[in-house]
Amino acid sequence: MSHPHPELGAPPELPAGGLRVIPLGGLGEVGRNMTVFEYDGRLLIVDCGVLFPDEHHPGVDLILPDFTPIRERLDDIEALVLTHGHEDHIGATPYLLREREDIPLVGSELTLALLNGKIREHRLKQTVFHTVKEGERISFGPFDLEFVAVNHSIPDALAVAIRTGAGLVLHTGDFKMDQLPLDGRITDLRAFARLGEEGVDLFLTDSTNAEVPGFTTAEKKITPVLDTVFRESEQRIIVACFASHVHRVQQILDTAAKHDRKVAYVGRSMVRNMAVARDLGYLTVPPGVMVDAKALAELPPERQVLISTGSQGEPMSALARIANRSHHFVHLEEGDTVVLASSLIPGNENAVYRVINGLSRWGARVVHKGNALVHVSGHASAGELLYCYNIVRPRNVLPVHGEIRHMLANGALAKETGVENVVYAEDGVVVDLVDGVASVTGKVPVGYVFVDGQSIGDVTESELKDRRILGEEGFISVIVVVDSVSGKVSAGPEIHARGHAWDDSMFEDIKQPIIDAVNELLSDGNDDTYQLQQIVRRTIGRWVSSTHKRRPMIIPVVVEA
């Protein structure tokens, strides 16, 4: 068993006939999935997704994988394979295409259709699409790819088998083993078994639910729960779910039709994605059920259903605006029902509960995963992963897609089934498959790349730290004027503070100590502005810390007059 070490250096040259695996995202976190495979000097990428920021990333819109390790080798990329259409697997693709626009994009019909909307938004033109189906094989350079149907919380998801001279790799993407899926498309365990017979040298498996015992609940179990909610609701129903969860939207449309209600979408991404799913035949809209949101508002409340974005409490989403009573045409009334039909992504709990409280304040009944079966996971639980290991019988396993605890739990399951070599890696840790054995061989530098408005990668960790300090601790500016002739403080300090319950009179006690400290430095012959600013910062910083138990951002300004 290999554990990555922070002391790992750059990987050695890849031996002839070896396959290198470089995860650039998704290992050690839930999101930002991207894995690079190198064989015979050529590169294949599987997935290119985003991570959504949390409260530790103030002002950040998206977090991308770090493309630095492949930036000098963009011409070596044979193709980018996209396993399914979720943001954490396709969302960063336009940013990679900005660096090389003609990378061949390989994926299922729905995945590429959802991606195409993003590419148009980014005004990219030279994209090359290769639409594939389960059971198909296609080659790009030295990589022979075979696609396998897998079941997930979005239709048309695929696992990919990658054949090279180094052996056979099977990458599950995100998957589960729902035996009664709404669309009848199950995870193809027969194909997994056939690949297992051929001999899977390296198995990359989804770790997200590896800590959850047993089997993930079937999507069909949600239908009777939704039916009960609709039957008991006497006014409007608002259902919030992911803008890509076609199966959940299908269940809501069917239930609405059964209860003689009309449905409208709220939220730009929901409108766009469901139009794509409907046009491609992945979503069947019962006749006469859909109306636009304005027409829905004309109907009596007991005939209205809104399907909205914002199930994760995103502050600018439709649901958050409804909860704040700031939505331009949806006004919550007492007795309305709101269904949060999604999982709670770790880190979003406070935002979601804030929205639930906001909705409850206006008298809405809120149905969520905590009090009803209105969502099931899209990922395989421990029982399903055990089945996969027993069917595939891989020689080496690399757990992917999850936090450290998820990947360790997944690896432990593989060991239980008799897999001898489980390799653990995090983002940037390089795994080589040489002569049928996988091992950690080094590390490449990778970090978070922040998208902030129009800026990509310009925001640094230190700037985010500054934003956090400003948000949590406040801001103090100190202006001191120094007479260059006498070498003493001639005016100030003038102190201004923002972001806390500061009062100008609070700073009277520290003004003289600042003057004394600056004068003392000047009397020693040190008139360097930077040194003078530092003594001002240290003096007021120590005082604020000991007196007010705060560590605000301090901006000292020393002016020579």
HEC sequence for 445-457? CCCCEEEECCEEC
The residue range of the domain holding 540 is: 461-560
Q: Residues 400, 345: one domain?
A: no
The answer to whether residue 6 is domain-embedded is no
Q: Residues 499, 544: one domain?
A: yes
User: What is the C-alpha radius of gyration for the chain, rounded to an integer number of angstroms?
Assistant: 28
Q: Which of 395, 418, 452 finishes a domain?
A: 452
Q: Which of 391, 417, 452 finishes a domain?
A: 452
Of 47, 156, 201, 206, catalytic? 206
CATH number of the domain within which 280 lies? 3.40.50.10710
Residue 206 appears among annotated catalytic residues: yes
The answer to whether residue 35 is domain-embedded is yes
**Using CA atoms, how far apart are residues 168 and 175, in angstroms rounded to an integer?**
19
Of 171, 247, 379, 406, catalytic? 379
Q: Determine phi and psi for 135, rounding to 5 degrees.
A: 90, -15
Q: Determine phi and psi for 192, rounding to 5 degrees.
A: -60, -45
Q: Residues 43, 81: one domain?
A: yes
Q: Residues 334, 418: one domain?
A: no
Q: Give pLDDT tens digits along the chain (561 positions).
A: 444 456 788 888 999 999 999 999 989 888 889 999 999 999 999 999 987 665 555 455 578 898 999 999 999 999 999 999 998 899 899 989 989 999 999 999 999 999 998 898 888 887 899 999 999 999 999 999 999 999 999 999 999 999 999 999 999 999 999 999 999 999 999 999 999 999 999 999 999 999 999 999 999 999 999 999 999 999 999 998 888 889 999 999 999 999 999 999 988 888 899 999 999 999 999 999 999 888 888 899 999 999 988 777 676 677 888 888 777 777 888 899 989 888 766 666 777 888 888 888 888 898 888 888 888 889 999 999 999 999 999 999 999 999 999 999 999 999 999 999 999 999 999 999 999 999 999 999 888 776 655 556 455 555 555 555 555 566 777 777 777 666 677 676 777 777 665 666 677 677 777 777 777 777 766 667 777 777 777 777 787 777 766 777 777 777 776
The answer to whether residue 10 is domain-embedded is no
The answer to whether residue 13 is domain-embedded is no
CATH number of the domain within which 415 lies? 3.60.15.10
Residue 503 appears among annotated catalytic residues: no
Contact call for residues 459 and 449 (beta carbons, < 8 A): no
88 is in an annotated binding site: yes
Q: Residues 72, 111: one domain?
A: yes
β-pair type (19-25, 34-39): antiparallel
Helix runs in 40-176, H state only:
68-71, 87-90, 93-97, 109-121
Identify the burial level of 457 via C-beta atoms within 10 angstroms of its C-beta, where 0-12 means exposed, 13-18 middle and 19 or more buried.
Answer: middle
The answer to whether residue 5 is domain-embedded is no
452 is in an annotated binding site: yes
188 is in an annotated binding site: no
Q: Residues 332, 395: one domain?
A: no
Q: Residues 199, 331: one domain?
A: no
The answer to whether residue 108 is domain-embedded is yes
Q: Among 361, 368, 271, which residue's Cα sits nearest to residue 324?
A: 361
The answer to whether residue 372 is domain-embedded is no
Q: Is the peptide bond before 493 cis (omega within 30 degrees of 0)?
A: yes
**Tally of structural domains, the chain:** 3
pTM metric for this prediction: 0.81
292 is in an annotated binding site: no
CATH number of the domain within which 517 lies? 3.10.20.580
152 is in an annotated binding site: yes
Q: Which of 412, 429, 452 finishes a domain?
A: 452
- For residue 280, the surrounding DSSP H or E stretch is none
**Using CA atoms, how far apart are residues 406 and 208, in angstroms rounded to an integer?**
6
Q: Residues 249, 363: one domain?
A: yes
**Using CA atoms, how far apart are residues 426 and 415, in angstroms rounded to an integer?**
19
Q: Determine phi and psi for 503, rounding to 5 degrees.
A: -135, 135
Identify the burial level of 22 via C-beta atoms within 10 angstroms of its C-beta, where 0-12 means exposed, 13-18 middle and 19 or more buried.
Answer: buried
244 is in an annotated binding site: yes
327 is in an annotated binding site: no
Q: Residues 388, 363: one domain?
A: no
The answer to whether residue 14 is domain-embedded is no
227 is in an annotated binding site: no
Q: For 68-108, give the DSSP string.
A: HHHHTTGGGEEEEE-----HHHHTTHHHHHTT-TT-EEEE-
Q: Residues 139, 199: one domain?
A: yes
Q: Is the backbone of residue 466 left (phi > 0), alpha (psi -120 to 50) or beta?
A: alpha
Q: Residues 439, 465: one domain?
A: no
Q: Determine phi and psi for 412, rounding to 5 degrees.
A: -65, -40
368 is in an annotated binding site: no
Q: Residues 48, 188: one domain?
A: yes
**Using CA atoms, how far apart are residues 175 and 378, in angstroms rounded to an integer?**
7
174 is in an annotated binding site: yes
243 is in an annotated binding site: yes
59 is in an annotated binding site: yes
